A and B are shown apart, each in its own frame.
Chain A
């Protein structure tokens, strides 16, 4: 998943906006954004945060200063367990030419010591968006970890996975039908980029327009490729 491979696959799949959400790290995102900009591909920068409850949540913020603040929050709150590169692989940040810029020594697939509500509050304090990830999945989702979607959770939208049977999901969760939903690939390998995505009714590619579009996002806008 090098920056160039990500951008190339996204362009090949006809995507116009992609979100970069590495587990508990924002460091790779701005590099991808810079490369993508040359080709007219828009990149939302953020992270997939593992909360204390082991719920995966997507956080996107606008601007390098906010991204740095988000990274600082993650650095401060990640529970420090040394990575085992033999088993989990190396956690590298690379530049466009795949030169290693830095290596994360602590396991990024662990959790931070902050709970869901606090994470939401913090992301919103940065003007960002907070989207609980793949809530239909049996692991690391709001529903798998808590058994339900809390009614007071301050989510800008919820994400459903590519493999979600949307019909039966809403049969089991009728109370969620009024909420905003997106679907995305959650690609961990280049070939998976764009395997599903969401169409946004959007007038430009600014962050503000994305936030506005999220308010209207629904399952009718899902695309499976």
Chain B
């Protein structure tokens, strides 16, 4: 499913990467430990997290993830947005908590 369709169906805020939503999302990964994502996330997955700092962009780029979705209404830090543009990793957001958002994502992608 395309990232744009997920963003629309789940009413996600698009913080960055508006022109980069044509990506194909292969699945999802939920974790707030960057080392865990580094070790286990797969290419094309959408990453659900509450981590707003710029290091998420490095990890997302390293693992070729399709996007990062911040939960609970969190917004990315300024540095994160800068790197998002450079790395081409869209940052999206939801007011939902991780459990609920993952449930919705799973319904779409699982």
Contacts and interface: CB of A to CB of B under 8 A. Distances in A.
Contact of B62 (A53, A79, A87): A87
Contacts of A139: 53, 55
A87 B39 contact: no
A84 B62 CA distance: 7
Interface residues of A, number: 13
A110 interface: yes
A111 B61 contact: no
Interface stretch (B11-19, B30-38, B101-109): B30-38
A110 B55 CA distance: 11
A88 interface: yes
- Most-contacted residue by chain A among B33, B38, B55 (CB, 10 A): B38
B58 interface: yes
Interface residues of B, number: 11
A84 B38 CA distance: 12
B94 to A, nearest CB: 21
A111 B35 contact: yes
Contact of A79 (B38, B53, B61, B87): B38
Interface in A70-105: 79, 81, 84, 87-88
Contacts of B34: 54, 110
A81 B38 contact: yes
A50 interface: yes
A107 B38 CA distance: 9
B22 to A, nearest CB: 23
B85 to A, nearest CB: 14
A110 B35 CA distance: 5
Nearest to B61: A87
Interface of A: 50, 52-54, 79, 81, 84, 87-88, 107, 110-111, 139
Given A81-B38, A88-B62, 15 more contacts: A52-B35, A53-B33, A54-B33, A79-B38, A79-B39, A81-B39, A81-B62, A84-B61, A87-B58, A87-B62, A88-B58, A107-B62, A110-B35, A110-B38, A111-B33
